[in-house]
Structure 1
Amino acid sequence: MMYDIARIASEGWQGSLTAEERGAMLGAIAEQRYADFEAQAPALTPRGAPIGFDENTDPVGREFGAFYSTPRGYHPNAITQFTLTSGMSLMNSPLLSKIEWISPRPILFVVGENAHSRYFSEDACELAAEPKEFHAVPTAGHVDLYDRTDLIPFDKLEEFLQQEPGLTSRHAPRTTAPVGAGRTWSPALSPLPARTHTDGPRHRQH
């Protein structure tokens, strides 16, 4: 259940973006960056999950709207928008270029059988090295696996987590408390490199 946002930015949906279209998009992004500078605020894309949708809304937008734009999953910070200039950075950040490095640790790809995003997981599974497994949840779409507990394959997830000795299942005892659970952070728990004057200022004061 995944979206390869970097791939969409560089190739378009299902590889539909031509080289000419990509070049035009990069030119538009360059112009938008200066427009954002002059406006002192970034312009945003339309919501991926429209507020106010009906049977005439495109199916993908309607599916996301049914979650992010209703009490089912709405949050004011989950705006489902990017800045108009995000695409340039995303194009330069391929997410799966080193996916084979995960091996020999196993991967389980879980998708909805009817998910419009299914091809991302199928292609990622093809790129990944063994051991790997692909599991399609019957009748499910993409958003169904966010919160539809009648469709989320808990048994499959538990089986996967228990098949390897080094993987943690919900039955395994926790050996260390997470930071924030009854204790405070300290350098001994998670050391950070010391900051020196050569690192530069954290922010500019006016």
Structure 2
Amino acid sequence: MTQKYTVALVNVLVLLLLSLTSTSVLASGHLVVSSDVWYAKQIRTLFPDGLTLHGSAYPLETLPCLPIDITKFNIRVGRKDIGLGPAFAIEGTLELGAITPPFEVRDGAKGKRYMVFLQAFLISPEGSVVWEQSGFPRGGAWVDAEGSSVQFILIDAYRGSTAGHKVVVFAAGDPIWSDYSEPRVLLGMKEVIL
């Protein structure tokens, strides 16, 4: 009788280990560190030590990303007078497609909606970050999980040269659920060479 229980226990443990291993392999394909989506590859090149989104630092090993880029940015970059002199501004529109499996937006108090965060970096020709700014879409951060269009402006008093620099803008959503513990998920990005 003891031998039967031992065999049954071993079988249960083996099944549990196989389940955890297959979930881990499946899940790791949607982390920036290992994803094949184009923007994850760019992030690994530009930010090998991790990415800062709205003031929080994320190691690439723990930051989830959608398996496809659901963003379509239309961006204008330049100087804008803010009353105290010219400032560096990134403004435009962002079209968002539907959230794709294995990620989901759950029906909550606001319906199937999530918050969009925007994060922009100005990167020098040598590869260092010389300016960064975060923000939300105009008119509110909550968007429909099936797709939305928003306008935005990210502006700050950077007055240095931008010749030859690169602007990188990310969109992230929260809360977006999956097998990961982190509900903030990268949705896509846009690069502009100045």
* TM-score normalised by structure 1 residue count: 0.23
**Larger CA Rg, structure 1 vs 2:** 1
* TM-score normalised by structure 2 residue count: 0.24
Higher relative contact order (CA 8 A, sep 6+): 2
Structure with the higher helix share, 1 or 2: 1
